[in-house]
Every structure is written in structure tokens, then in C-alpha cells.
Structure 1
Amino acid sequence: MDHEFWLDKWQRNEIGFHLDEVNSSLVVAWPQLGVESGRILVPLCGKSIDMLWLLHQGLDVVGIELSPLALEALRTTIADHLGWEFIRTERDGVVVYEHDRVLLIEGDLFAVKPETCGEITAVYDRAAMVALPAAMRDRYREQILALSKSAPQLLITLDYDQSVAGGPPFAVSDAEVRKALERHFTIRCQDERELIDQEPRFKAKGLTSFVQRTYLLTPLA
């Protein structure tokens, strides 16, 4: 998958992955992560209003997004709700939009440097890992570890039979999460739920199961 794929999705407004409300799994699971302050990294943030929810909890946020359209929509949402203005600059080869408590980075996630993000307290991944095919996910996980210095993570995945239907979003199994991350984290599946009845598009393709899992990842001592 290249940049043009996702830029085209946003240009065509083919963004079925976007939610118009705060993700309920975030609201339920976040308190259990034990992170009450600091800077939260949200990779491939799109225009998610989850960012606004995190801000309302008193947290600072760092969002990384490839699409200028998505990032503009997110800036507008934050500005409308909180009355904040952003300063546009270039830093370490990427465009950034800043406010005292928000840093929005426009560009390729893999090109972002740790010094651009600053010190990260935790990571919230709702739609990033599942947006990438299997061949890219190891590189993605290593980049997130580098940007966050293995900070705690709230990770939400989707799992289904990819021989019946393809992504994105792509299937990420429980076994993959544990094998890839057990060297760095204590892994707890906080919630597992069947969503097939809420996903008519995938059900129409012949799937009988579409499972969402929510993980709390705590760094190993």
C-alpha cells in the first residue's frame, strides 16, 4: 500500500473507518491504562474526535497523519470546540501544526523522528496497525516503539478470516500481537467483542465473524 491509496481514500471521502463519535472502547479502557497526564501519541489519527476526548481528560496529544485533508478537518474540530489556533511550521522535514497542548504532524509516519514528537507518555492506536498489511506491520511496530520509547499503549485490533474478505482494515490476530510485542510489554486483552452484526459490508462478503480486541500494553520492567 502506498501513500496515494490513502490520499485517494480521503479525497473521495471513502472513510468508513472514521467514527463520528468517541470510540467507546477508548472511554472504557483508557482509565485502566493508568495514564492520567502527559503526551499521548495517536498514529494515523485521521480526523478522529478521540483526540478531542483525550484533550478533555487533561492530556496533551500528538497526532500523525498523511492526509492534509484529514488533518485540516481535525484542526477545525479542535478549533471549533476549544477556540485554539495553530502555528504552522516545518520541523525535521515534516509539516507540523502546534498549540500548547497539541502537535499535529502532517506526513509519512515512517519519516517522523522521535525528536519531532518529543517525550511520549502513552500511545493510543485505534486504527493504525489494522490499516497496514502484514508485510508493513513489523516496521510499524518498531517505529512506534522508537517514537514512544516503549511507553504504555492502548491498542485496538480487528480479527477476521482474511481468506474470505480482504482489508483494509486488515486482520490482526491475537497470536500476532503477542508474538510481536511480548518482548516489550505485559499484554492484557481488556475486551473482546463480536462485531459482525455491526459490519454489514463485511457480512455481505461472507464473513461470519469480525472480532474487535482491546489491549492494554504495559512496558516490561
Structure 2
Amino acid sequence: MRRWPNNTVLVKIDAGIPQDKRHHIYTVMDSINALSCLKMVNASEGDSGYHILVNTFKPGCWSMVGHTGSDKGWQSLNMGPTCFSNGNRVIHHELLHALGFFHMQSRHDRDKFVKVYKDRVVPQNWEANFKKKGEDEGTVLWLGLPYDYNSIMHYSTNAFSLNGKITVEVLGKFSGEIGITRVPSRGDVAGLNRLYECWDHYLGDDIPGATPYKQIHQKYFKEN
């Protein structure tokens, strides 16, 4: 688990991000701070601490996963021009990547809940966006929480489609639409607080199918 030390995350915004887009990033940072015990801090230019650099260096919307500790002294969170559409969904999504979360459809147990059509996915997007994580790794990453169709980390039904056809098909009884949530779900918030040991915030013990956090904490965060 590549957590940010001391639950503190410095964020710098590159000059290439337009001024009228910056308040959206600050709003999401404030939201994460309010929902968790994390401290996402708008770092000044003179701050030399390790940080996330929100930038437009490359096309697309993407982030490194978790605290990488790059020798550069920062890690990239790329926000191209189209990343600011659809409310603040993409900003939430990418910041949660940076805090340590993979895509929901990459869970090791996803085949019980969705069918992913590999032959319909643009090949260069398969590895990072759809490939399943190993069971051991996945158990830690999702920290006893059930599969969440409402997660802001879930892709839509036709994400990265090669031919316009469905790439992610819901198999369960979920009647909503996946991949459209604009704010973190209960499961997203609980996962964040479980990962960062935010005992005085929402931990999701009331979510059907969730393993009580105390049990998860004893197993993954403390010596047995």
C-alpha cells in the first residue's frame, strides 16, 4: 500500500492549468479533506516537499497510483482540456488514483459482477485500465468492502471501446448506470478512510457485505 506519509498530500498546480479550472481542483481537495482525515494542501511555489503536480504535459486524464516517491520530488497528475467536463468526476477519479486506488473493474473478483470484453477494448488501454489485480493485492486494496457499481472509480459501459460496443457489462441486479457518478460513493469514502486509518470518519461498516473495519485493520495494519 503506497500511502502518503502522515496523511498529508501536497498539491501544486502547474501554470499550464487555466485559472478558471483551478477552483474545481481546490473544491475536490476540500471535499476529500472534509470526508476523511487526510490533509490535501495547496502547496506554494517555494514548498520543496514531495507533491502531486497537476499538469497538462500530455494528452488525456491520468495519474500515478499512490505515493510513488519519484526521485523528481513530485509525481504527475495529468489533466488535459477535456478532463474538466462532466462536473468534477474526473478530478475526483484522478485524485483517488493518486491517493492509492485502482479502477473498480480491476478488482480480482470483478467477474462475479461485470463482464469485460477484452476484444472490444482499445489495446493500449487494456493493461492500465481493465487488467485484474491479483487476489492478494486486491484484498488489501479494497480493504473488505464489496464491489461497488456506484464507485467513482468505475468505468462506463462503453469505456475505451474499439468498435462502439459495450466493453463493461453489468452482471448483477444493479439497475443504475455505471461510470457516471460525479461524487465519491459511500464505498469510495469508506475505502479512503479505511486505507488511511481515519477511525473518526465513515468506515462503511453498515454497507451490506462489508467486513468490519476493525477486523481488516487487525489483519493488514497491525502485527497478528
Same fold (TM over 0.5): no
Choose between structure 1 and 2: higher strand proportion.
1
TM superposition score category, shorter chain reference: 0.3 to 0.5
> TM-score by structure 2 length?
0.33
